[in-house]
Amino acid sequence: MYSNLAFLPIKVDFLNNFNIVEDFPSKFHFWNYKQLLNESNKSPYDIKSWRTDLSTEYDFVKKLVEQLPYDNLSSVRITKQLHPVLQHLDITTPDCPLNIYEDFVKNEPCGYRFVLLNKNTFLQFFIKEQWVTANLPDNTYCYLMNTTKLLHRVLSFDNISERITIYVRGNVNKEKHLKNIENNLKLYEKYALYM
């Protein structure tokens, strides 16, 4: 229904007093990150639960993610970007099993993200043969994006190089997800980008 929607800000109740833990032990391409779900003996796209060894300083992440319309989760990573991010797709085949990939495609856009630090650091999408900059309004730090079809990148300019985000992946509840899109289009239509 909204498969041509590339980017949309999402209204969430955002906690003003949180502490970003400087603990990013893993590296993946352009990011250092910490996976907050239990990955033991699981493939990247398997359903997972929250790690039990997380300190209470990560409770704010759980509260943010709980506001999203997911039935289950396969990844929740807090990431630290230190350099510009080259163009890429988030979910591709053959990395993602075909049945899971097809579920993502039929529910696009279905990639929810939070930006905790430097939210308007030039997130761009390749739309209609040109790079288009996406912006978040002042009153939200969350957005929804297409993860399977839309090339995107993050540029860094001037002294802004560090960007902290929460990457969330899982299976959306279709009805809640569609309602969430409809409600946020009413709030943020002027910020929405379409393919």
| Residues 163, 165: Cα–Cα separation, whole Å | 7
166-180 pLDDT, tens digit per residue, is: 999 999 999 999 999
Using 50, 70 and 90 to split pLDDT, how confident is the model at 76? very high
- Is 34 or 158 the better-scoring residue by pLDDT? 34
Per-residue confidence (pLDDT) for residue 124, from 0 to 100: 93
pTM: 0.92
Per-residue confidence (pLDDT) for residue 160, from 0 to 100: 60
What single-letter amino acid sits at 104? Answer: F
Tell me: domain 5-194, CATH 2.60.120, correct? Answer: yes
Written as six digits, the tokens of 90 are: 């988030």
Taking 70 as the threshold, does the pLDDT of residue 5 lie above it?
yes
Domain ranges of the chain: 5-194
Strand 130-134 versus strand 142-145 pairing type: unpaired
Asked if residues 10 and 183 have their Cβ atoms less than 8 Å apart, the reply is no
> What strands, in cross-sheet order, belong to the sheet with 123-127?
85-88, 152-154, 123-127, 130-134
Please list, residue by residue across 64-75, b when 16 or more beta carbons sit within 10 angstroms of its beta carbon and e when fewer do: bbebbbbeebbb
